[in-house]
């Protein structure tokens, strides 16, 4: 695998987004081992991996973000949106050819190179708002790119992207992602195909249905005993045999995340249990999406979606008075 400089000459079609609202999320939309960076940093200070067999360049993180912005401007032309909130992880360090023989301590800054194996970003559209249970939600779009999911040691082929559109809760910066608002494996050869795929996702997304499904969650409550039963069954699920799991909702939360949900049931300042010992499914859903923030970038959106689908499953059981392994 080879690398190329991520500069104006190597990416002449790169556009740095114009300045919009500089407001940032109060809390990170994903935590894990990520850090916040700017699009300008990605353009000016990083290099790009290439496909080693033919030296073809990959679509960069910054190109992905700018392509999403262009799609956003086409689908939502009358709305303003904030600057991208970008988080990266798994830094890959290198050096320029002339510094190959130098000891690390003698390297000068211009001789060092970096790129980020994984990147996630969100772009908030604050003019499209909803409210659930006293929480303001804004429409948000974004995506994930993970070079570890590409075979960079081959010739250039389809590159994979994850794209989503949904809501962000202003209180806690938890993302709310629904099934029709998430494309897990968008495969493209160029930015034109990428933009069209993003536009198709945005147009297919049913915003009203998503909001309605989340709003109904505030109407259903669980007692402390039911939540204790739920947490216990979630822990037990991991040790069931395959044939037993086949008939249950495919849970995808690890012990650490389940423990975080249990802890925040009592400790979270926005979504903890009421003095009467009750919590509604909207609050419980936000405990789940809060716990999911500890997931690595490349599987983060899948777990966001799984949290949504799981809580909807609980709501369906309560609404239809049907038995559910996790509640009864």
63-107 pLDDT, tens digit per residue, is 999 999 999 999 999 999 999 999 999 999 988 888 888 888 888
* 284/287 Cα distance (integer angstroms): 5
Whole-prediction pTM value? 0.90
Token readout for 39 is 């699009």
Q: Are 217 and 309 in contact (CB under 8 A)?
A: no
Name the pLDDT band for 17 (thresholds 50, 70, 90): very low
What pLDDT score was predicted for residue 13? 44
* 185/37 Cα distance (integer angstroms): 24
What pLDDT score was predicted for residue 129? 96
Residue carrying structure tokens 């994903």: 30
Q: Tell me what the mean pLDDT of segment 44-71 comes to.
A: 93
Residue 14 reports pLDDT greater than 50: no
Q: Tell me what the mean pLDDT of segment 53-67 comes to.
A: 94
Q: List residues bridging with 132 in a β-sheet.
A: 135
pLDDT in tens, 136-180: 999 999 999 999 999 888 998 999 999 999 999 999 999 999 999
Picking from 117, 62, 63, 64, the residue whose alpha carbon sits closest to that of residue 89 is: 117
What pLDDT score was predicted for residue 140? 98
Q: Please give the helix or strand (H or E) that residue 264 lies within, else none.
A: helix 255-267
Residue 11 reports pLDDT greater than 60: no
> For the chain, what is the mean pLDDT?
91
What Å distances lie between residue 307 and 17, 117, 156, 288, CA to CA? Answer: 32, 25, 35, 6
Q: Are 150 and 132 in contact (CB under 8 A)?
A: no
Q: How far apart are the first and last CA of the chain?
A: 53
Judged by phi (left if over 0) then psi (alpha if -120 to 50, else beta), residue 20 lies in beta
- 255-267 and 281-292 are packed helices; what angle lies between their axes, rounded to 10 degrees? 130
What pLDDT score was predicted for residue 10? 41
Token readout for 49 is 């991996």
Token readout for 327 is 């509640």
Of all residues in the chain, the percent with pLDDT exceeding 90 is: 78
Q: How many CB atoms lie within 10 A of CB 168?
A: 27
Beta strands in the chain (DSSP E): 3-5, 35-37, 47-51, 56-57, 85-95, 112-132, 135-146, 159-169, 175-176, 182-188, 221-223, 278-280
242 compared with 96, residue with greater pLDDT: 242
- For the four alpha carbons of 146, 151, 157 and 158, in that order, the dihedral sign comes to negative
Q: What is the dihedral of CA 35, 41, 42, 44, to 10 degrees?
A: -160
Of all residues in the chain, the percent with pLDDT exceeding 70 is: 92
Token readout for 98 is 């002339």
pLDDT in tens, 247-274: 999 998 999 999 999 999 999 999 999 9
Residue 3 reports pLDDT greater than 70: no
Picking from 179, 181, 177, the residue whose alpha carbon sits closest to that of residue 201 is: 181
- 207-215 and 281-292 are packed helices; what angle lies between their axes, rounded to 10 degrees? 110
Q: Are 146 and 104 in contact (CB under 8 A)?
A: no
Name the pLDDT band for 208 (thresholds 50, 70, 90): very high
Maximum mean pLDDT: which of 29-33, 98-102, 303-307: 303-307
């Amino acid at each position: 695998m080879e690398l190329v400089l991520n500069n104006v000459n190597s990416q002449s079609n790169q556009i740095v987004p114009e300045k919009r609202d500089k407001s940032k999320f109060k809390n990170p939309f994903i935590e894990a081992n990520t850090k916040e960076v700017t699009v300008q940093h990605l353009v000016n200070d990083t290099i790009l991996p290439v496909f080693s067999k033919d030296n073809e360049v990959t679509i960069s993180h910054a190109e992905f973000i700018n392509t999403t912005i262009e799609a956003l401007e086409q689908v939502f032309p009358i709305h303003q949106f904030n600057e991208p909130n970008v988080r990266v992880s798994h830094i890959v360090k290198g050096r320029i050819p002339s510094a190959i023989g130098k000891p690390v301590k003698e390297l000068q800054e211009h001789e060092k190179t970096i790129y980020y194996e994984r990147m996630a970003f969100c772009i908030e559209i604050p003019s499209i708002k909803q409210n659930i249970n006293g929480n303001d939600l804004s429409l948000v779009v974004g995506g994930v790119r993970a070079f570890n999911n590409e075979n960079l040691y081959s010739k250039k082929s389809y590159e994979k992207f994850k794209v989503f559109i949904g809501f962000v809760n202003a209180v806690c910066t938890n993302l709310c992602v629904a099934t029709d608002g998430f494309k897990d494996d968008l495969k493209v050869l160029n930015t034109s195909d990428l933009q069209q795929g993003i536009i198709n996702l945005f147009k297919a997304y049913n915003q009203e249905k998503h909001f309605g499904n989340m709003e109904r969650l505030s109407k259903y409550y669980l007692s402390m005993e039911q939540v204790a039963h739920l947490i216990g069954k979630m822990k037990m699920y991991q040790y069931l045999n395959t044939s037993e799991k086949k008939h249950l909702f495919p849970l995808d939360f690890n012990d650490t995340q389940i423990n975080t949900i249990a802890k925040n049931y009592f400790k979270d300042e926005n979504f903890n249990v009421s003095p009467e010992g009750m919590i509604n499914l909207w609050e419980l859903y936000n405990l789940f999406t809060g716990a999911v923030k500890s997931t690595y970038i490349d599987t983060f959106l899948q777990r966001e979606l799984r949290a949504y689908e799981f809580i909807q499953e609980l709501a369906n059981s309560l609404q239809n008075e049907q038995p559910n392994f996790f509640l009864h």
